[in-house]
A and B are shown apart, each in its own frame.
Chain A
Amino acid sequence: MSVVLHAQKPKGGYLGKRIIICAEGSYSPNYSSFKDLFTSYNFQYGGNAHFITGRHTQMGLSYNMYSMGAHNRYDTSLSNGGRIKGYQIGLTYRKFREKKGGLAPIGKFFDVNLYYHSSEYIVDYATINPFAPVIVNTSGISGSIGLGAQGIFWNRVVMNSGIRVGGPIFTLSEQDSDSDFGNNLDYMQQRLMYKDFFSVFFGIGVIL
């Protein structure tokens, strides 16, 4: 009998390919009011790089940016509005659901995400102080868990989509350049919470 147990360990992943680079976008309704729920969305966009770590697991790093129109209702009479801009750097652990036949990188999955986010809210109180807009900064750690599905097309293109729920976990720093003008910091924290509260994501990329 010529069966000899000396095989080299073959690479895992999709036919040996284990690195996935993806562009990802997500959006979530703006929960600030019932009206906003259907008309206003928070968009995030960015990219991520994942590595297939096991038969059913994938881990990755992500970088996302967001820019949200912000109209603090308490101060609308005073300001021209403003924007919350920021970015988040995340760490993702993605587990493909074995019971549903998932096998990394194809199939249904759930994932756990942990982000460091840093945001800046520039409120244009031009009518009061045209030379010094109020700048609010905050950074912190947020997280989300998601459910989704991922597939590969044309042997190289990776597509995924799903939903995530999450929110800020704790704040690392916060700063308001002029706290006399409105409750901007509270408003910003609220918007950031809504951003991740329930979001839908789509990703497209390549597997290498």
Chain B
Amino acid sequence: MVVPFSATFVIFEIMLRFKLPLLFVTLLSATLFAQTPVPNMDNYQPARSSGALPPDVLMTTTEKYEKSRTQINTNQSEELQKAEDDFYLQTNYAVDQMLYSGTILVNDSMGMYVNRVADSLLAHDPETRAKINIYILRSTVVNAFATDRGSIFVTVGLLTRLHNEAELAFVLAHEIIHYKRRHVLTGYIEGVQMQEGEGKYSATTAENRFLKRHSYARNQETQADEEGFDMLVASNYDPHAAIGAFEILAEADFPFTDLDFSKGTFESPRFVFPSRFFNDTIKEYKINEDEEDNDLATHPSVPKRKKGMKRRLLKLEGADSTGSAFLVSEELFYRIRAMAMFEQVALHTNDGEYKEAIYINSSIQKTWKKNYYLEKEMIRAMYAITVKKNAPFAFEDLADLFNLIFSGDFEDDDEKPLGEQGRAVSFIGKTDQKGWNIASVKYAWKVHKEHPEDQDIKTWTVGLFREMTVLNGLEIKDFQENDSMFLVIGDKIMSDTALVHRLKGQDTPTRRWQVAIDKLESDSLDGFKYWEFAFIDELKDSMFIAYFKEAMSYADSLDSLEERKDEMTSKEIKKQNEEEDEAFFGPQGLSKVVFINPIYQSYDSRIKNGQLDVRASIDGRAMMMDAMMSSAAQCGIQCDILDPESMDSTQVERFNDLMIVNDWFGQKGNFKDGEGLPVRKEQMERIATKYGTKYFMWMAYYTSREPRQGTLFRVLSLAFVPLAPQVAYRLATPREDVYFVAILYDITTGEPVWGAQRKIENQHSTEARLKLQMYDMMRMLATPKED
């Protein structure tokens, strides 16, 4: 399955394509929480957009492009004019992909605060301020970047790192300078000149051209640093924040917290993970303070930039050398940073980084104890890992494994993990599937008991029970109901009287249990039920037993189904499979479907400088939308396309719904077909009611053009005259294939109900083919099911 856009993907795509200037970052030390005010986050609600949607979101890419190209400098060479035109097309497209994919927030609390900081920063320059809009990008990557349109994006990841408002102001100042100096455009033009060997790049080697281009980019960064610093000074922010910002940048690759990770988060006195899962020693994070400039880098080295700022600081005199760390609001700053941390937890889970999500969540729970939002997010991430661990090994896992090995990310057991997050990631990865599933059930049960009214938690808890009974084969009888036998767990301990004696000498049950487990470290986990006493407390609760029994009944019903299948002949199984396929790919008889931001992209391997044919992608998408709407009307099915291009400024709720459903589709993409996290029932039922349907579709239509293979053979076959016209046609045209993927979900259950996965080979009549595919899809959705 094709995975929908993730914010991380979009950022790197944009950064790589346009070398957009990026900045900053930091590592919050373990003491940060203690030293700074802790806002009340008891009733935290996930960040959402609000107010009127801005033109940045509502205008189509074509409209933005047409507007941008009026600025083309007509005094330059035709080639450069063309390059500038191309830049506007490509950059508008790339940024819009991000805007439309539900990864940005509009007028949310974080964004409004950041904009207020920009107000302070540009109080003396209202003209520039009026041209700039700042948005929060929902990404864990630590970053900020500016576009030529005056949109500045600040990631959630960056907000988690800041120590004060002045640091944020410096980051914004840096980006504002990039915008004012039109660095993105000039950088792009430089790139074109370099490729073409024009101007200062003429009469030199390819290597020198490359080095010069990067040197140019570094100079742009230095200029943005220096002028951004001046802006910071002029606005009365503390200029020392520039140094702080570079310290953040130096630590950008590390998580924002390094608080101790304890496996105790998932344990209880009677349920302790074997210590072999836990690395006692870790590697410390290390920052290279002496890093020199790299000729191949687009940015100067951080130490060099920091030194540059220090030199400028020394030159400041009087009032200029001091300033305020907070001009807008200190209280608000800490609240916004806390919000960013809370959001970061969910974003990691959305991106499939469950172990990281768990570590950060457990770290910030040390500050915000028993926080409903964090506990809920913890269950979500633990659930995801349970599903991953319980999933049977499949062929695609092998491919993933190879990717991991060749990418160099494969963890060597002897290697110490990096930092506390590394320790957590390693621990979670090493735990066995039964143990982890049990820990997840325990955690979810505890939270469910505290919040019985929460339907999401209830659904997840039921799901975790079922994972435990269906995929781990565990039943109530596998668990001890009291701890009278606590010291005689497993046959190995029974047979070792010396150990029993030693165990009895320990101070606390937990410690004794740990000693027992440590003793068995060298043995296989097979037959060693270290989790046998895990539910001693829970099994006293009749409700817990009821949940457990329900899951066991569910497992039995699946077993019966399997047994019935085993009794079927191969012919019957084949017939059943065909019927299931027909039911899935065939008519559905629906009256309304909502499409989430449908994707259309055209790739052409013959294009220089990247393979995405932006113009064809924009035109193709418009064509696809028309085809969808007209086909739907013709087939008698209501088609609602949830897409910013079709919204007006008052429809911020639709924009939020797009984000929610897109997030959910993204998470689906992190799992194999049919798996994944149970839906957030209340949220999805609300959306389903609002849109009058529970059927939501994710779809993508990709076209790919490439030169045909076997040209020599074709030339030779021209000699056979009867086939000459076809052969000549093929010689003159590229090969064009289409990949069309669509999957329709019932969002209230999370189940896929219809799908299409087609590779349409080597065809032309592009427009008609697209219309036919859209029509066929609508026809399948609208046609009543056969009885």
Chain A residues engaging chain B, CB cutoff 8 angstroms:
1-12, 14-16, 27-29, 38, 41, 55, 100-103, 105-108, 149, 151-153, 155, 159, 161, 163, 198-200, 202
Contact = CB atoms under 8 A, between A and B. Distances in A.
A10 B783 contact: yes
Contacts of A199: 722
B772 A103 contact: yes
Given A7-B589, A29-B722, 19 more contacts: A1-B688, A1-B694, A5-B784, A6-B589, A7-B637, A7-B782, A8-B782, A10-B635, A14-B768, A38-B721, A101-B740, A101-B763, A108-B761, A151-B764, A151-B765, A151-B768, A151-B769, A152-B765, A152-B772
B692 interface: yes
Given A7-B784, A10-B779, A200 B768 contact: no
B763 A15 contact: no
Given A15-B631, A153-B768, A6 B591 contact: yes
B769 A9 contact: no
13 contacts: A5-B589, A6-B589, A7-B590, A7-B784, A12-B779, A14-B772, A15-B775, A103-B772, A103-B773, A106-B769, A151-B769, A153-B768, A202-B725
Given A14-B768, A15-B631, A101-B760, A4 B726 contact: no
B785 interface: yes
B758 interface: yes
A144 B722 CA distance: 17
Contact of B763 (A11, A106, A155): A106
A29 B763 CA distance: 27
B649 to A, nearest CB: 27
Interface in B714-735: 721-723, 725-726
B634 interface: yes
Nearest to A207: B768
B90 interface: no
B769 A5 contact: no
Interface string B753-787: 00000111111110111011101101100111100
B484 interface: no
B771 A15 contact: yes
Given A5-B589, A100-B761, A153-B765, A27 B783 contact: no
A4 B772 contact: no
Contact of A14 (B738, B775, B778): B775
A39 to B, nearest CB: 9
A76 to B, nearest CB: 25
Contacts of B359: none
A3 B783 contact: no
A163 B634 contact: no
B636 interface: yes
Contacts of B778: 10
Interface residues of B, number: 45
B634 A10 contact: yes
Given A7-B591, A7-B783, A152-B768, A27 B761 contact: no
A125 to B, nearest CB: 33
A28 B783 CA distance: 44
Contacts of B761: 100-101, 108
B722 A28 contact: yes
Contacts of A153: 765, 768
B299 interface: no
Contact of A4 (B591, B636, B771): B591
Interface in B270-303: none
A3 B591 CA distance: 6
A150 to B, nearest CB: 9
Contacts of B738: 101
A130 to B, nearest CB: 38
A200 B631 contact: no
A10 B634 CA distance: 8
| 7 closest A-B pairs by CB | A101-B760, A151-B765, A152-B768, A10-B635, A5-B589, A100-B761, A7-B782
B257 interface: no
Given A27-B722, A163-B723, A200-B726, A5 B785 contact: yes
Nearest to A26: B722
Interface string B233-270: 00000000000000000000000000000000000000
A21 to B, nearest CB: 17
Nearest to A16: B634
Nearest to B748: A1
Contact of A3 (B592, B631, B763, B779): B592
A152 B769 CA distance: 8
Given A27-B722, A29-B722, A103 B784 contact: no
Contacts of B726: 161, 200
B768 A6 contact: no
A90 B227 CA distance: 81
Interface string B459-471: 0000000000000
Nearest to B632: A10
